[in-house]
Chains A and B, each alone.
Chain A
C-alpha cells in the first residue's frame, strides 16, 4: 500500500467477500494511516483535550450570561506569561528544526531553554494566582474567577504532563548511542503538543479578555 487515504465512504462500500476486492485486500499491510503510532497517539490525546476545553468554553459562555458575572481585570503579568508561552513555542520549533538537521548539540540547548521558559510560564501563572488571592479574588467570589482558576490550572496541568515527555525526550539526547529516528520523533511530537497548548491558551486567554 503505497498511498494511504482514509475515505470513510469508500472504505464502507468495499465488498470484502468478492474475489476482486479480495485481491486488493490481500495487498493490504494492515495499517490504515501513514502515521507512526506515537504521532497518532498524540493526535488522539489532542482531540480528547480539545473536547474537554471546548466543553469548558461552552460552560463558560453559558454561565457568563447570568447577571452575577463580574469580569476579572487581567493583570499585565498575564500578558507577559502569554508572550513567554509564544516564545517557548517558537524556541521549540527551532529545536525541532535543528534536530531534523541532526544538529543535536544545538537542539539540546534549545530544549533546555524550552524547559526553563515553561517553568517560568507556570511560575508566572502561580504568581498571578497569588496576586488574585491577595486581592481577595477567590474562586468562590465570582464565577468569572472560578473559570479563571479552572482554565489556568487545567492548562498548567497539561503543560506539566507535557514536561514529563519533554524530560524523556531530552534525556534521550544524553545517551551515548541514542536512536536518531526515535529522538527526532519525540522532539517533534513534544513540539506539536506545545504548539497545541499555545493555541489552547490563546483561545482561553482571548475568551477571558474579550468578556
Chain B
C-alpha cells in the first residue's frame, strides 16, 4: 500500500481538487475553523519575566524552582549517608535530624523535584511548542499554577525554621505517629508539610488543566493525536493520572490536618501516648495508607511516563531511526497509566490485609510488567541497526534503559507477596525504588536538559563537563545502589538511625562507608552540572539551529530560540509524524513534521 505512494498519484489527486470537486489530498489543508488564540502581550519586565504568562518562561521558572529545592534534597541525603556510613562521628546529626532528613529528602525528590520538573518544567516548555500552539490555553491560570507551586515550596522550606523543625514521619506520613509527640516535627512541621502538599495539589490542578486541554484542543492543523511526539503522550497521560491521583493526597492531607489541629479521629485510633490515653479513638490508620498509596502508586508513573516519552524521542533522534512500534509505545503508555490505579496496595502487603486482597494486587502488579517490557524491547529495537550518535543525551538514554531494567526487575521481586514480606522495610526496597524512580527518571531529566538546553538558551552545555557528569553519575549510582540490594538481603532494615552492634552488620559496615563515599562524589558531580548550566548560559558554544537534526516542531520555529508566540505569523501545518529519519528514497536524512509531501517527492513511506 505505502509503496504506491508516488509522485504520480500525488499529481493526480492535486488535479482532482483543482477541478472543483473536493477530494482530500496530501496537500490540501482545510481552512481554520477556530480563530487564532488571543495572546497576552507582556509590556514590562515584570510581566515578561516574573509574573509571566508565557508557557516557556513558566516552564523555566518551574524548572529552576524545582532544581533549587532538589539540591536541598540532595544535601539532606548527604546528612543521612554520613550518619549511616560513619555513625557517632558527626555531632550535628541526631536521631531527630536524621529522620527529618529522610522525610524531607523523600518528599522533595518525589513531588517537588521530579513531578514539578517533568510536568511543570518540561510540560510547560514543550507542550505548546511540540503540538504547534502559541501558548497554553489558559495562560493566566498557568501563571497562578507556578506561583502556587512556589508558595508550596516556600511553606515547605519554612518548616525547617519552625519550633521542632520539619516533620520526620517518613515521606509516607503515616498516622498515628506522624502527628504524635515523639516523632520529630510533630508540632508545626507536619502541619506545614500538609499545607504545602495541599497547595501543591491545588497549583498542580491548575497547571494540569492547561496541559490536558492544550494537548487535546490547541494543536496545530494536521497534528493528530497519533502524530504527536511520544514526549507529549507521556506528559499528557501522566497529567491525566495526576489529576485523578492527587485528589487522594489532598483528601488525606485535609483529614490528617483536622486530626492534628481539631482533634478529630479520621485516622487516629484509640491510643496511649507517653503513658496517657489520648482523646482520639476509632479512626483507621489503614484508611490513610489506602488514600496515600492510591495517590502514591500513580505518582510513580506520573514521574515515569514523561520519562518514558522523553527517552523515546531522545533515542529516536540520536539514533537517527524512527521509533520502533510507535503505536505500541502509545498503547503501553495508556495501559500503564490505567493499570497504575489498581496496584496501590502492593505498598501495603505487611499492613495485615486479607491475603486474597494481596493476591489481587500482586497479579495486577505483575501485569504492569508486560506493557513496561514492551517499551524496553521497543527502545532496544529502535537502537538496533540505528546510526547511534553517542552524544550526551544518548549516553543518558542508554543509562536510563539499563537502570530502568534493573529497577524493574527488582520490582518483580517486591511485587510478589511472599518475597515482599521478608524484604519489606529493608534496604532492598530502598535500592529498588531509587533505581526505578530516582536514578532512571533523573537520567532522562539530564539527557533531556542536554538535549533541549540549546533550544532554550541557543547555546550548548559544555561537553567535557557533560561527559564527566554522565560517567560519574552513572557508575556512581550503581556504586551506591548495588550494595544496598545486598544490605537488604542480609536484612538491614531501612529507616533505622543506627545499627549499633547488630551481629549481621559485620559485612555491612564497610559497605555503608563505601556507599557514603560514592554518594558524596555523585552529589558533588551534580553541583558540577549546575555550574555547567549557569556558565554555559552566557559562555557556552553557540548552537546552530536544530543542532540534533530533529523533526518535531519545537526546533523549527522562525526565531531560534523560540520567542513570544512561538511560531511567528503563521502556525505551522503538520504533514507527518516526528520520526521520519533516513526515509527510504529521500535525499534528505530527516524530514521535519511541517514539510509537505511535495517538497520531498522521492521519499517513500516507511513500512513498519
Contact B575 A26 (CB under 8 A): yes
Contact B247 A52 (CB under 8 A): yes
Shortest beta-carbon distance from B604 to chain A in Å: 9
| Interface assignment of A45: CB less than 8 Å from any CB of chain B | yes
Using CB atoms, name the residue of chain A closest to B219.
Answer: A30
Shortest beta-carbon distance from A44 to chain B in Å: 5
Shortest beta-carbon distance from B313 to chain A in Å: 15
> Complex: how many Å from CA A8 to CA B337?
14
Q: Kindly specify which of A87-95, A114-122, A138-146, A192-200 makes contact with the partner chain.
A: A138-146
Do A41 and B138 contact each other (CB < 8 Å), given the known contacts A29-B34, A68-B281, A146-B264?
yes
Shortest beta-carbon distance from B115 to chain A in Å: 16
CB neighbours of B33 from chain A (8 A) = 29, 31
Do A150 and B132 contact each other (CB < 8 Å), given the known contacts A11-B226, A32-B216, A44-B212?
no
| Interface assignment of B521: CB less than 8 Å from any CB of chain A | no
CB neighbours of A104 from chain B (8 A) = none
- Quick one: which of B219, B331, B576, B597 contacts A12, CB cutoff 8 A? B331
CB neighbours of A12 from chain B (8 A) = 226, 327, 330-331, 334
Q: Kindly specify which of A54-62, A77-85, A105-113, A164-172 makes contact with the partner chain.
A: A54-62
| Interface assignment of B390: CB less than 8 Å from any CB of chain A | no
Shortest beta-carbon distance from A51 to chain B in Å: 4
Do A41 and B213 contact each other (CB < 8 Å), given the known contacts A27-B24, A29-B221?
yes
Contact B209 A22 (CB under 8 A): no
Using CB atoms, name the residue of chain A closest to B334.
Answer: A12
- Quick one: which of A1, A18, A55 contacts B247, CB cutoff 8 A? A55
| Interface assignment of A20: CB less than 8 Å from any CB of chain B | yes
Chain B interface size, as a band, is 35 or more
| Interface assignment of B263: CB less than 8 Å from any CB of chain A | yes
> Complex: how many Å from CA A139 to CA B279?
13
Q: Kindly specify which of B120-128, B251-259, B502-510 makes contact with the partner chain.
A: B251-259
Contact A59 B255 (CB under 8 A): yes
> Complex: how many Å from CA A12 to CA B263?
50
| B 185-238 contacts with A by CB, 8 A | 205, 209, 212-213, 216-227
| Interface assignment of B464: CB less than 8 Å from any CB of chain A | no
CB neighbours of B287 from chain A (8 A) = 59, 62-63
Using CB atoms, name the residue of chain B closest to A43.
Answer: B213
> Complex: how many Å from CA A29 to CA B30?
7
The binding surface of chain A is classed by DSSP as: helix
| Interface assignment of B28: CB less than 8 Å from any CB of chain A | yes
Do A48 and B265 contact each other (CB < 8 Å), given the known contacts A37-B137, A41-B213?
no
Instruction: Produce 1/0 per residue, B44-76, CB < 8 A to A.
Output: 000000000000000000000000000000000
Instruction: Produce 1/0 per residue, A9-36, CB < 8 A to B.
Output: 0011111111110111111111111010
Shortest beta-carbon distance from B345 to chain A in Å: 14
CB neighbours of A33 from chain B (8 A) = 216-217
> Complex: how many Å from CA A63 to CA B281?
11
Shortest beta-carbon distance from A35 to chain B in Å: 7
CB neighbours of A25 from chain B (8 A) = 222, 224, 226-227
Do A146 and B217 contact each other (CB < 8 Å), given the known contacts A27-B24, A29-B32, A51-B244?
no
CB neighbours of B279 from chain A (8 A) = 140
Instruction: Produce 1/0 per residue, B1-39, CB < 8 A to A.
Output: 110110000000000000000001111111011100000
Contact A31 B265 (CB under 8 A): no
- Quick one: which of A15, A16, A66 contacts B284, CB cutoff 8 A? A66
Using CB atoms, name the residue of chain B closest to A42.
Answer: B209
CB neighbours of B30 from chain A (8 A) = 1, 27, 29
Contact A139 B264 (CB under 8 A): yes
| Interface assignment of A127: CB less than 8 Å from any CB of chain B | no
Shortest beta-carbon distance from A58 to chain B in Å: 9
CB neighbours of A37 from chain B (8 A) = 137-138, 213, 217-218
- Quick one: which of A20, A26, A63 contacts B266, CB cutoff 8 A? A63
Shortest beta-carbon distance from A139 to chain B in Å: 5
Do A52 and B251 contact each other (CB < 8 Å), given the known contacts A25-B222, A30-B218, A30-B219?
yes
CB neighbours of A69 from chain B (8 A) = 282
Contact A45 B281 (CB under 8 A): no
Shortest beta-carbon distance from B322 to chain A in Å: 7
Do A26 and B29 contact each other (CB < 8 Å), given the known contacts A11-B226, A16-B326?
yes
Shortest beta-carbon distance from B411 to chain A in Å: 26
CB neighbours of A35 from chain B (8 A) = 217
> Complex: how many Å from CA A66 to CA B466?
58
CB neighbours of B291 from chain A (8 A) = 55, 59
Contact B251 A56 (CB under 8 A): yes
Contact A67 B282 (CB under 8 A): yes
Contact A143 B282 (CB under 8 A): yes
Q: Enumerate 25 A-B pairs (CB-CB under 8 Å) in ascending A order.
A: A12-B327, A14-B224, A15-B608, A17-B605, A19-B2, A22-B575, A23-B25, A27-B30, A28-B223, A29-B30, A30-B223, A32-B216, A32-B217, A44-B243, A45-B209, A51-B248, A55-B291, A59-B251, A63-B283, A68-B281, A68-B282, A139-B258, A143-B266, A143-B283, A150-B255
**Supplied contacts A33-B216, A66-B284, 5 more A-B pairs, CB within 8 Å:** A16-B577, A30-B220, A33-B217, A37-B138, A138-B262
5 closest cross-chain pairs (CB), A and B:
A19-B5, A30-B219, A140-B263, A146-B264, A68-B282
Taking beta carbons and an 8 Å cutoff, which residues of B are in contact with A?
A: 1-2, 4-5, 24-30, 32-34, 131-132, 137-138, 205, 209, 212-213, 216-227, 243-244, 247-248, 250-251, 254-255, 258, 262-266, 279, 281-284, 287, 291, 294, 322, 326-327, 330-331, 334, 575-577, 579, 597, 605-606, 608
